Amino acid sequence: MQARIPKSAALAALMALLAPALVQAYDEAPGLPTVTTALSPLPKSPLPDISSLKVNKPAKMVDEEAFREKDVWGRIRSGYAIPDVNNELVAKHVNWYATRPDYIARTTARASLYLFHVVTELEKRNMPTELALLPFIESAFNPNALSSANAAGMWQFVPGTGRDFNLKQDAFKDERRGILASTDAALTYLQRLYDMFGDWQLALAAYNWGEGSVQKAIKRNQAAGKPTDFESLADLMPAETRNYVPKLQAVKNIVANPQQYGLNLPLIDNSPYFMAVDKTSDIDLTVAAHLAELSVDEFKALNPQFKRPVITGDEQTKILLPKENAEKFHLNLSQWTKELSTWTTHKITSARESISTLASRFHTSPEVIRQANNIPQKSVLKAGSTILVPKISTSASVDISSDIAENATVAYEAERSNNGKSAKGYKLAKAGKSDKSSPVALVKARVSRDAAKSKSHRKTSH
């Protein structure tokens, strides 16, 4: 029998249960360098009232029926609205998932952080709730997933489509990975595709394959006097798209009746897991996690869009925190007496500015600068690059401007060898790939450790 986990114990589930998604490559920045200001122990004395501090609370849902469901899975089941597919591909994928309870446990535990928000947004838009299961297919609910086509985040936006839907991608953040921004963009895109084709299955195919490709396939079948529904067009689709809707149908079937397939889904409380907190000034990522009394990995699981060790603040910047941790964050912030950010920017004006010279100038080590800016070893910065450096006394109170944050680039090339030749230069610094240290691999899910426990830990791919 499944046991409901109290919200106060949401972060107490076993961290090791959340292994990285097996179907994606991951792109994560190297380990963050130690902040130059030591983090003080948080106060134990009574803390002041913060009732006046601004917190963005989750919007109330109009449909109170949604809250009568005991968990989020029930809300998803009750909102199924896409016609079912029933073919050999669906059976194949159902069997794949049903024979891998360990994979289901990891993915659903990861999803437990995000599903309430996604389902709520779908219901607000009156969209089919099974669309909340799409990240199961796209990324295994890993917001740090990166595909070979450079599609990033839980909803797998490629750079161009991300920009089309106002997902900022700059040196400091990539909103394709942000939970709020990417979910809003994905649902807006899916609704636009449905309005275009009048059919959710074709809309899903277009989300995977592109609307232009689906339109061409429709015209081709129309010219041949053939039907233009998803299954009639399947032979014209690449294998990935042909399997896309059947995979979603397979997950729908399992969520509808997990016991039928010998599976158990973790009970996910039908209440918000996180809330948004405004941050209008710069703050080190490690400081933010410290004030919220979360590990850096736990913080990054809810805020994966931030790419650098400092979060640049403006009117649009929000950080997500579990409710109780948001309260702790404000209480601890009210007594914080040190600088919130220990980083600023420096523009390289000459190739003569070596990393070792910069490290000496800013009282740090070359490795700290390389890690903070994702600069590979045996490479040198090009003139015009804007990099993060530790703050010194003359710039201690100055935040990084929004103009710099949005336009900064880091360009580098290989060091010249003894014969004076240089290897091919790189254009932009990118985070190193890792499938072992993704933040989501370590974050504690809000489900019981028993619910997500599995006897098998085989590595598989799908």
Question: Which residues are identified as catalytic?
Answer: 138
> Measuring CA to CA, which residue among 320, 371, 312 is closest to residue 35?
371
Partners of 391 in the β-ladder: none
Contact 162, 175 (CB under 8 A): yes
What is the DSSP track for 394-455? GGTTPPPPHHHHHH----EEEPP-TTS--PPPBSS--PPB-SS--HHHHPPPSS-HHHH--S
3-class state of residue 144 by DSSP: coil
What distance lies between CA 244 and its chain's CA centroid? 21
Q: What is the C-alpha separation between 109 and 103, in angstroms, rounded?
A: 10
Contact 147, 156 (CB under 8 A): yes
Q: What is the C-alpha separation between 420 and 381, in angstroms, rounded?
A: 17
φ, ψ of residue 251 in degrees (nearest 5):
-65, -40
Residue with tokens 């990393």: 355
φ, ψ of residue 71 in degrees (nearest 5):
-150, 175
Q: What is the C-alpha separation between 158 and 149, in angstroms, rounded?
A: 7
Q: What is the C-alpha separation between 361 and 42, in angstroms, rounded?
A: 32
Contact 80, 128 (CB under 8 A): yes
Lookup: tokens for 131: 């669309």
Q: What is the C-alpha separation between 90 and 245, in angstroms, rounded?
A: 8
Residue with tokens 């041949």: 224
The sign of the torsion formed by the CA atoms of 101, 107, 113, 118 equals: negative
> Measuring CA to CA, which residue among 289, 287, 309, 288 is closest to residue 297?
289
CB atoms within 10 A of CB 142: 29
Q: What is the C-alpha separation between 92 and 98, in angstroms, rounded?
A: 10
Q: What is the C-alpha separation between 200 and 191, in angstroms, rounded?
A: 9
Q: What is the C-alpha separation between 351 and 267, in angstroms, rounded?
A: 57
3-class state of residue 12 by DSSP: helix
> Measuring CA to CA, which residue among 364, 314, 387, 432 is closest to residue 30?
432
